[in-house]
């Protein structure tokens, strides 16, 4: 099996986090950090998140867990028990970074605050990635991803005016909180090179979701104007919606008059939309049924790939709308080697997303499948902390590991 590579090789990260920090710890592991995932003996909650291999729920069959935990080592440890907490503090002495997602009051109950952890290692960097941050009246509230995008203004802006908001797919708020967390850790590690000191990083999912909400929040802060959704229907639309093709959907986006003229020429100048009045966006918006009808008829004659290739040649913005399989198999993805063939002892062979972003001088790598539950207990407890097999048997009997 390959060994870790990347700019963070040599740094050790203790991963105590939940869903909020999965992407953060994956980014660090892919860049070479020795990330040790600390799970309760019953297993991390992400092991119970679908989809599952063969649709069979099992802690070793979660494809969600598999994706987010490559390159990590995994141990079991009940940090709520005194012995478990003591072992964790020993691990902190040898660590560079701890990532946790406890509510602030829960971290205090467990005596695992930044002050507690830094007391055993002043150079330790602790990233707390939580729903609402370390202070404020909501600091101990729980929130999932949709709560993050709802409170951060993103959900409000999704959908048609006057209709209920549309929930976007994926985990946008979780992903942004993790990305900001990874950035904060990288900056803190850089700062430590000169200062020798660790520090506490406070990441609020709520704030991260609002921070990426485009120009809407800054505009409101300056003008006081309430953001409005852009309609994709009626007189406000102009070629925003997807068009059906022979094998799926493609999106066409036209703004400059030159692009409109090239599109009409490409379509063979159909009489219904070839008049000079249609060169004006305002006129097209008043007659969407004519415009959409003509373009829909044109697109239905081609595959989305054919439309894309020909559109590129004509400098027209045509975008195929890919399925997951089409994304994996597309020529651009394959040419960059984005997916890595991996082998997992339970899942078997599968394709794992490669390292993102790519550092040309110090690239990371995907070298280890996600850990089985407690797979690296011996490596860490015996190899790193100097315990013996009898110690592990006793800890297991007491439910500590």
Mean pLDDT to the nearest integer, 267-291: 92
Express each pLDDT in 298-308 by its tens digit: 999 999 999 99
Structure-token pair, residue 225 = 């104007």
Mean pLDDT to the nearest integer, 337-365: 93
| 12-214+337-397: CATH topology | Rossmann fold (3.40.50)
Q: Which residues, at least 6 apart from 302, have a Cβ–Cβ distance to it below 8 Å?
A: 245, 246, 310
Dihedral angle of Cα 335, 337, 339, 340, to the nearest 10 degrees = 140
pLDDT at 240: 64
Lowest-pLDDT range of 33-47, 92-106, 254-268: 254-268
The DSSP code for 62 is B
d(CA 103, CA 300): 52
CB 50 within 8 A of CB 57: yes
Instruction: Answer whether the bond into residue 86 is a cis peptide, omega within 30°.
Output: no
CA 130 to chain centre: 15
* Residue 122 pLDDT exceeds 90: yes
pLDDT at 156: 82
Longest dimension (CA), the chain: 86
Task: Let me know if the fold of 12-214+337-397 is the same as that of 238-323.
Answer: no
Q: Which CATH class is domain 238-323?
A: alpha beta
List the chain domain ranges.
12-214+337-397, 238-323
* Residue 237 pLDDT exceeds 60: no
């Amino acid at each position: 099996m390959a060994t870790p590579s990347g700019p963070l090789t040599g740094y050790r990260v203790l991963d105590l986090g939940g869903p909020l920090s999965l992407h953060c710890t994956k980014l660090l592991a892919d860049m070479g950090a020795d990330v040790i995932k600390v799970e309760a003996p019953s297993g991390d909650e992400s092991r119970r998140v679908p989809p599952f291999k063969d649709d069979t729920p099992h802690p070793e069959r979660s494809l969600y867990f598999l994706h987010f935990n490559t390159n990590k080592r995994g141990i079991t440890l009940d940090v709520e028990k005194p012995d478990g907490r003591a072992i964790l503090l020993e691990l902190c002495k040898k660590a560079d970074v701890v990532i946790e997602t406890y509510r602030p009051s829960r971290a205090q109950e467990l005596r695992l605050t930044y002050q507690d952890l830094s007391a055993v290692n002043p150079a330790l960097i602790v990233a707390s990635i939580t729903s609402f941050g370390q202070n404020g009246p909501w600091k101990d509230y729980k929130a999932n991803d949709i709560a993050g995008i709802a409170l951060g203004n993103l959900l409000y802006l999704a959908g048609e005016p006057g209709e209920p908001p549309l929930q976007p797919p994926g985990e946008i708020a979780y992903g942004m909180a993790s990305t900001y967390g990874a950035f904060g850790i990288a900056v803190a590690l850089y700062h430590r090179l000169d200062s020798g000191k660790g520090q506490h990083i406070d990441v609020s999912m709520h704030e991260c979701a609002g921070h990426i909400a485009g120009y809407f929040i800054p505009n409101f802060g300056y003008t006081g104007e309430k953001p409005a959704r852009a309609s994709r229907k009626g007189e406000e639309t102009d070629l925003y919606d997807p068009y059906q093709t022979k094998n799926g959907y493609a999106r066409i986006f036209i703004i400059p008059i030159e692009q409109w003229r090239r599109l009409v020429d490409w379509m063979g100048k159909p009489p219904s939309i070839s008049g000079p009045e249609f060169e004006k966006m305002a006129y097209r918006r008043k007659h969407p049924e004519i415009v959409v009808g003509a373009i829909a008829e044109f697109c239905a004659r081609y595959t989305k790939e054919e439309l894309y290739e020909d559109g590129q040649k004509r400098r027209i913005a045509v975008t195929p709308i890919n399925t997951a399989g089409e994304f994996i198999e597309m020529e651009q993805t394959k040419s960059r080697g984005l997916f890595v063939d991996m082998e997992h002892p339970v899942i078997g062979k599968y394709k794992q997303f490669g390292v993102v972003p790519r550092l040309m001088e110090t690239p990371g790598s995907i070298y280890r499948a996600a850990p089985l539950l407690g797979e690296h207990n011996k490596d860490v407890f015996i190899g790193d902390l100097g315990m013996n097999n009898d110690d592990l048997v006793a800890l297991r009997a007491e439910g500590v590991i």
